[in-house]
Structure 1
C-alpha cells in the first residue's frame, strides 16, 4: 500500500526526497522516467492522491456476485501506466503525421484554406491531400481532379499530379488533371510545370495542356473570362469526350453516347446552373441530340 502511494505521489511530482530516493533504487525506475518524459508531451488530468487511495480502500472492501475487485501492485501499475502512455504517444504522433484530405463529389465544389492561409477551391469530383507534420518544411500537395490555388508567398509550393508537377512561390493558378487530360493555367505570377522530361515556365495568361499524351504549345487564355469558379466551363478546341466528362462532374449525371465521334473538337462553354441549357450549348453547335432518363443522358446524331 505504501509503495502505491509513493508511486502516485511521484506521478503527480509530489514525492518527498525520502520517497524519491527509494524509487530511484527500484529496478523499474528507468521505466518510470520514460513514462514521465512521454507524459510531459501529453496533457493528462492530475491524479488526486487522497481520493485515489480512498477509492482503492473502498473497492478492497467491496465484493460482488461476479467476483472480488482486483487490486494492482506497484509492478502492475508500472506495466499498465507505460502501456497507456505509449498509446497516447502513438496517437499523438499519428495525429501529427496523418494526412489531411479534402474531397468533393459530383456536382459539388469546396473552398478551404491550407495551414499557411493559402486558399484552395476544389472542383467537382476532385481530391486534395497533404501531410500536416511536414507542411512547415515542405508545402507539398497531391491533387486528383481540378483545383484553383491562391498561394501565399513563402517556401516552394508544389502540387503533385499523376501527369506532372506544378511549382510556385506565391501566385494564382488552376490545375486540371483528368484521365487523358492535363492542363495548367496561370492567373497571376509565374508557374513552373514539370511534365515528364519537359520543364517550362508559364507567365500570367499562359496555359500548358496535354491531351491524350499530345502537348499543345503556345497557348494563351483570357484571364478575365468566366471559369468554373463562376459556375461556367469553357473549352477551346477540346475533344468532346472531355467536355462530356465535365457535364458528368458538374451535374452528377451519367452520359452514354451512340455513334458519336468523341474526338470531335469543341470550342464553347456551358453554365452549371441548368442541365438542359448546358446540353444544348454542346449538342446544337455539333448538330447532335440528347435525351434524359432518370440520372442518365444519351447523346446521339440527329439522323438516328
Structure 2
C-alpha cells in the first residue's frame, strides 16, 4: 500500500522512466493504480500527433475508464495522477522527440543508468549524459551520445555511436566513449572499434584508446579492464585541473571558482564519487592548494 501521495508520485515517475526495482514494481501493482495509468498510456499510443483535441481526449478517457470499471470507485487522487501523467506525456512531446520516434535517456547529477538497446546490447550511461536513438532500430542503427557511456555490444550486431566531435562504428565489442565539451575519447575493452573524426579513421583493439587533440586523433594504451567510473571513482594522469573539476561537478553539487593562478596545475590521481570531502582532499592536498568548504558547498580558496 502507498503511504502517501508523494510516495505514489515518486513511484509513478520512476515507472515512466522504466527505472523501478522489482520491489517498487510490485508495490505499485498492488496499489491498484497502475492499471488506470496503463489504460491512459495505451490510449495515448493510438493518437495521431501533433493535432490533439485535449479536452475531447480527456472526456473519452474518463468515459472509457468508467465503462471498463463500473463496479470500482476511482478516487480523486487517482484521477489527478492520471491527468498529471497525461500532461507529462504531452510535455514530453513538446519538450523532446519522445513521441516523434526517438527514445532518449538522460542522467542527472551523480546518476548512472543501465539501459538495454533493442538488439540486446547494454549501455551504462554516466552522470550528466544522454543517449538517443530511433524507435525503428533495425532501419536506423545510429545512437547519439552526449557525455560518457560504456557499451557492451551483442555479438554480430552493428551500429554507430555519433557525437558532436566524431563517431564510433562497432561490431560485438566492449568500449567506452566520452564526448564532454571539447573532449572526444574512445577506449576499446574487447573486440575492435573504428573511430571516425572528419577525414580521419582509426581502428582500435583491446587495450587501445584514442582522443582528439587539436583536431588530430592520437592513440595511446591503457591497462584497466573496465572504465574507472564504473567502479565509483575518477582517475587522471597529468590532467589539467580545470578538467578534473569539470568531472568532479558531474557527481557533486558544488560551487567552485578556481583562481587563475591554479588553472595550469596538472593533476595525477583519483577521487571517489560518494564522499565529497574525501574527493576534495584527494585532489587539492597533493597540489598543496588550501581551501574552505562552506555549508552551502561553495569552495573558498586561501
**Structure 1 266/214 Cα, relative in aligned 2: closer, same or farther at 3 Å?**
farther
Please state which structure has a larger fraction of its residues in strand. 1
Say if 2:200 and 2:217, in contact at 8 Å, map to a contact too. no
Question: Aligned partners of 1:104 and 1:130: how far apart in 2?
Answer: 15
Say if 2:187 and 2:208, in contact at 8 Å, map to a contact too. yes
**Structure 1 225/166 Cα, relative in aligned 2: closer, same or farther at 3 Å?**
closer
Partner residue of 2:120 out of 117, 120, 135: 117
Question: Aligned partners of 2:199 and 2:256: how far apart in 1?
Answer: 35
Question: Aligned partners of 2:226 and 2:103: how far apart in 1?
Answer: 32
1:172 matched to 2:146? The reply is no
**Structure 1 275/158 Cα, relative in aligned 2: closer, same or farther at 3 Å?**
same
Structure 1 alignment gaps of length 5 or more? 1-41, 44-93
- Superposed displacement of residue 287, structure 1: 1.5
| SS of residue in 2 equivalent to 1:176 | strand
Matches within 5 A, 1:134-213: 135-211=137-213, 213=214
Question: Aligned partners of 2:170 and 2:155: how far apart in 1?
Answer: 9
TM-score by length of 2: 0.64
TM-score by length of 1: 0.63
Q: 1:118-150: CA deviations, max 9, x gaps? A: 0011100001100112x1123210000010110
- Superposed displacement of residue 217, structure 1: 2.8
Larger C-alpha radius of gyration, 1 or 2?
1
Number of equivalent positions: 209
Question: Aligned partners of 1:180 and 1:279: how far apart in 2?
Answer: 24
Say if 1:97 and 1:131, in contact at 8 Å, map to a contact too. no
- Superposed displacement of residue 183, structure 1: 1.0
Question: Aligned partners of 1:147 and 1:288: how far apart in 2?
Answer: 32
| SS of residue in 2 equivalent to 1:219 | strand
| SS of residue in 1 equivalent to 2:184 | strand
Name the Cα RMSD after superposition.
2.4
Partner residue of 1:127 out of 126, 130, 140: 130
Give the match for residue 276 of structure 1.
277
Give the match for residue 238 of structure 2.
237
| SS of residue in 2 equivalent to 1:116 | coil
**Structure 1 165/226 Cα, relative in aligned 2: closer, same or farther at 3 Å?**
closer
Question: Aligned partners of 1:173 and 1:95: how far apart in 2?
Answer: 27
Matches within 5 A, 1:259-298: 259-298=260-299
Matches within 5 A, 1:18-167: 98-133=101-136, 135-167=137-169
Which region of structure 1 is more displaced relative to structure 2, 221-230 or 238-247? 221-230
Structure 2 alignment gaps of length 5 or more? 1-44, 47-96
**Structure 1 137/253 Cα, relative in aligned 2: closer, same or farther at 3 Å?**
same
